[in-house]
Structure 1
Amino acid sequence: MLFFVGLGLYDERDISLKGLEIVRSADAVYAEFYTSRLMGTSIDRLERLYGRKMKILSRPEIEGEPEWIEEARERNVALLVAGDPMISTTHLDLRLRAIEMGIDTRVIHASNIASAAPGITGLQNYRFGRSATVPFPHTVRGKRILSSTPYDAVKDNLSRDLHTLLYLDIQDGRFMSINEAADILIEVSDGRGDDGFASHLAVGIARAGSEDMCVRAGALSDLRRYSFGPPLHVLVIPGRLHFMEAKALRILAGAAEELLSGYEL
């Protein structure tokens, strides 16, 4: 059996009891942390609490030809991932490949930012549209390239009065901040002639699941100057607000009354 075990939002204590039992009883334990990270812990702390040594898999070992997966034909193998195992298409692809190879699989779900963000912000979970990732800019032939995909996702959701959860890029040990994401979105919107986008309501969440979590609502242009502290960060762009959502953003995220008045349904 190949077990996909979610580790939750922030540190080694976020794993479920069911997940912990599987990790402790598995014949082999692997982990990958390039799709997401547990920022409140370390490999050493994970191993000490779980009572197991684990091998950290690289991106090629997950997305290429995963030779390690063959072990699951005859043994119980646990793959540990931050958040919930099936939020990432990388892990879904791996599970489907395992099934096609005739290997049994089982998923142990855990808390993740997609399920936590509505509770943190007070925004209703059924009013979130499609999410997107804000990637770091890249350079092609000396030209700086920005992805318009997150901006397009936001605008599509706004046209239907839906909220947008934006994941922020992780790349080579770099963690995009809410400030950087806001700068990118505003630069893309300015390029589209959407001058009012910078004043749109936004909510930044930093270190979800931790005791020093930070959540702040304000105009997007204001959030790019706010100090959210260490990663991981995500950004929410709300659509129109139910009166309870507006109240929640005021109380939970410090949104100014005058800013919210233009967004209530």
Structure 2
Amino acid sequence: MFYIVGVGLGDVKDITVRGLEIVRGAKRVYLESYTSILPENKIQLEQFYERSLIEADRNLVEQGADEILNNADTEDVVLLVVGDPFGATTHTDILLRAQDLKIETKVIHNASIINAIGCCGLQLYHFGETVSIPFWTDNWKPSSFINKINQNKAIGLHTLCLLDIQVKEPTWESLTKKTKVYQPPRFMEVNQACSQLLQIIDNNEFDGKNYVSRETFCVGAARIGWPDQKIVAGTLAEMVNVDLGPPLHSMVIVGTLHPLEEQFIKQFTIESK
């Protein structure tokens, strides 16, 4: 059996009892290490799980899936995922590969940023399509995601923005060489995302009517589910100057607020700090 087990967001103990039993009984256990991070390190996880973990980077999960799935038709193999297994398309892909190989699969769910973002007071059924905001480079500055934000705002819906994570990314220079050299890990912060959005707005880079402006209300969320989680709300122009501390960060572009949402979110506004 091939299992994908969600381990939650903020504590080594967030894994479910069912998930922990599967981990302790498996032949091999992989820890996916590039779509998110936990406050604990691998050693702490191993101590609590009472199992050794094999770290699985992007290359292993996406290009070396056959290695992970090897013998999973006759023994239990586990892939641990921060948050929920379906929080990233990568995990859907490896499940499909397992099914193509006639390997039985099972998913053990857990909390993810998709539902935990409700802690800021915005009601989950008022969210539209989620978008990802990537790091810009000197030669690549995509802006098309703002069209999805506009579509959501046009009908009053909030937009969860997942901010870029780059872990074990090869340098441009090393791509042509046999030996890979990797860039230092990078995690986009809310103020960086706001800065890029403001540049898109100022340059009028959107299709059709624009509903996003410098005064658009948004919520910055950092380390959700961790002991030191932090939430701050303000306009895009205000949030570009807010430091929410270490990763991981996400943000919400707010749509039309329900009175209960408005009442709850006041505690996080910059004016109330």
TM-score relative to the length of structure 2: 0.88
The 1:196–1:12 alpha-carbon spacing in structure 2 relative to 1, beyond 3 Å, is: closer
Alpha-carbon deviation of 1:256? 4.9
| Alignment match, 2:246 | 230
What CA distance in whole angstroms lies between the structure 2 residues aligned with 1:84 and 1:195?
Answer: 31
Alignment partner of 2:34: what SS? coil
What CA distance in whole angstroms lies between the structure 2 residues aligned with 1:2 and 1:139?
Answer: 42
| Alignment match, 1:131 | 130
Aligned structure 1 segments of 4 or more residues deviating by more than 3 angstroms: 193-196
Q: 2:186 aligns with which of 174, 184, 208?
A: 174
Residue type of the partner of 2:13? R
| Alignment match, 1:254 | 269
Contact 1:5/1:108 (8 A) holds in 2: yes
Residue type of the partner of 2:41? S
Alignment partner of 1:247: what SS? helix
Is structure 2 residue 193 aligned with structure 1 residue 192? no
C-alpha RMSD over aligned residues? 1.6
Is structure 2 residue 16 aligned with structure 1 residue 16? yes
Alpha-carbon deviation of 1:36? 1.3
Alignment partner of 2:84: what SS? coil
Deviation per residue, 1:241-262 (Å, 9 max, x gap):
11011001113x23659xxxxx
Contact 1:132/1:149 (8 A) holds in 2: no
| Alignment match, 1:102 | 102
Alpha-carbon deviation of 1:151? 1.5
Consecutive unaligned residues in structure 2, runs of 5 or more: 168-184
Contact 1:31/1:81 (8 A) holds in 2: yes
Structural mapping, 1:205-220, within 5 Å:
205-220=221-236
What CA distance in whole angstroms lies between the structure 1 residues aligned with 2:135 and 2:99?
Answer: 34
Alignment partner of 2:71: what SS? helix
Alpha-carbon deviation of 1:74? 1.1
What CA distance in whole angstroms lies between the structure 2 residues aligned with 1:174 and 1:107?
Answer: 29
Alignment partner of 1:73: what SS? coil
What CA distance in whole angstroms lies between the structure 2 residues aligned with 1:57 and 1:68?
Answer: 9
The 1:54–1:151 alpha-carbon spacing in structure 2 relative to 1, beyond 3 Å, is: same
TM-score relative to the length of structure 1: 0.90
Is structure 2 residue 94 aligned with structure 1 residue 79? no
What CA distance in whole angstroms lies between the structure 1 residues aligned with 2:70 and 2:63?
Answer: 14
What CA distance in whole angstroms lies between the structure 2 residues aligned with 1:48 and 1:65?
Answer: 27
Contact 2:188/2:249 (8 A) holds in 1: yes
Consecutive unaligned residues in structure 1, runs of 5 or more: 258-265
What CA distance in whole angstroms lies between the structure 2 residues aligned with 1:177 and 1:75?
Answer: 41
What CA distance in whole angstroms lies between the structure 1 residues aligned with 2:59 and 2:138?
Answer: 24
Contact 1:189/1:195 (8 A) holds in 2: no
Alignment partner of 1:72: what SS? coil
Is structure 2 residue 153 aligned with structure 1 residue 158? yes
Alignment partner of 1:183: what SS? helix
What CA distance in whole angstroms lies between the structure 2 residues aligned with 1:225 and 1:138?
Answer: 21
Q: What percentage of aligned pairs have identical amino acids?
A: 38
Alignment partner of 1:165: what SS? strand
